[in-house]
Amino acid sequence: MGLTPQEALDLFHSDDLIGIGMAANEVRRKKTDPRVATYQIDRNINYTNVCTEYCSFCAFYRPLGSKEGYVLPLETIHEKIEEMIALGGTGVLLQGGLHPDLKIEFYENMLRSIRERFPQVHLHCFSAPEVLCIAEASSLSVRDTILRLRDAGLQSIPGAGAEILDDEVRARISRLKCRSEEWEAVHREAHALGMRTTATMMFGCGEEYRHRVNHLERLRRIQQDSGGFTAFIPWLFAPENTPLGKKVPEATAFDYLKTLAISRLYLDNIDHIQSSWLTPGIKICQVGLQFGADDVGSTLIEENVVHAAGVRNRTNEEELRRIISQAGYTPAQRDTLYRSYILK
Ligand code: SF4
């Protein structure tokens, strides 16, 4: 039996960071191989930066009609994938803004062209808000949208666009973006079709602890019903260059590690918890391996969204292996769905 919402709230208000971390690590050791910590080599490809949602935490998007707006040609996408394969990569995360003029045929064509050229590459693409945008632009149901994308090569859906799954917060930071129910509906539909997805949480955007608990509770309920989430990835809001960043204080390492550990305790039905290096930095990511995380995410060969918000952290396979080893674990490269491990 996992934590109750009140118990989670009490932990958020507690200063016992080490005690919470030790409890989370105990759960992690039982759920996954206690000797191994994993990473992935993949690449984010932002096929467009055009977006109609104007989220206040985002420095990446450009409005429709902007001179700086782009849609990547297929050849460019293929070249990026070739570079990723040369670096030992196994997966691609295609993600855009929400471009109102791109219909399902555009996405089918993009996926098929990749699938034909690179059949070995796992396609983990399009956030729930993008799926909803494609459905609306193409006058399709969410189910038919996912089915058509799957037929074209889509294999799993990332948890992006969740931010905080509480509509009080969403109304403040991403007023035009989908509501919590809609994010949930896309993931439930994908799970019902046998497709795996991940769950994320972007925190430190001025929300209260109760909002984080509501978020975790929603994820736990979905997972109870479907079992479709492979992993949970909490990450910190990157405030620079964003309208929201001027209004909220930057979250601390203490808050990051405590939230990571509480996530491990609360989401007792999700197998994997990821410690992030992109916004907290590589050293905090490493410490996260003692606070309930069993994975340090991906090398993210290309990352543009958080980069636009002033974050300059970069890493590579060698560094991820080093931080894992020095934290006392055997590093293993995994695939997108955590099915296979390669011990090198
Ligand atoms: S976070 Fe995503 S949906 Fe929001 S403005 Fe940026 S690109 Fe658009």
Report domain extents, the chain: 5-342
* pLDDT digits 0-9 by tens, 19-28: 999 999 999 9
Structure tokens at 117: 């050229």
Residue 1 pLDDT greater than 70, yes or no: no
Q: Is the CB of 60 under 6 A from ligand 1?
A: yes
Q: Are strands 341-342 and 330-334 parallel, antiparallel or unpaired?
A: antiparallel
- Mind giving me the DSSP string for 24-73? HHHHHHHHS-TTEEEEE-EEEE--B-B-S---TT-SS-B-TT-TT--B--
What is the pLDDT at residue 38? 96
What is the pLDDT at residue 300? 80
* pLDDT digits 0-9 by tens, 116-144: 999 999 999 999 999 999 999 999 999 99
What is the pLDDT at residue 301? 76
Testing ligand 1's pocket by substitution, the residue of 44, 52, 55, 132 carrying the most ligand atoms inside 8 A of its CB is: 55
Q: Helix crossing, 104-117 with 128-137: angle to 10°? A: 120
Judge whether 84 and 43 are in contact, CB under 8 Å: yes
Would you tell me which CATH number, out of the four given (1.10.569.10, 3.20.20.70, 1.20.58.110, 3.30.420.40), belongs to the domain 5-342? Answer: 3.20.20.70
Reported pTM: 0.95
Testing ligand 1's pocket by substitution, the residue of 177, 244, 306 carrying the most ligand atoms inside 8 A of its CB is: 177
| Confidence at 306, pLDDT banded by 50, 70, 90 | low
Amino acid at residue number 136: E
Q: Is the CB of 53 under 6 A from ligand 1?
A: yes
Mean pLDDT of 206-210: 96
Residue 194, Cβ density class (10 Å: 0-12 exposed, 13-18 middle, ≥19 buried): exposed
What is the pLDDT at residue 309? 67
What is the pLDDT at residue 207? 95
What is the pLDDT at residue 197? 98
Q: Side-chain half-sphere of 32: how many Cα atoms within 13 Å?
A: 28
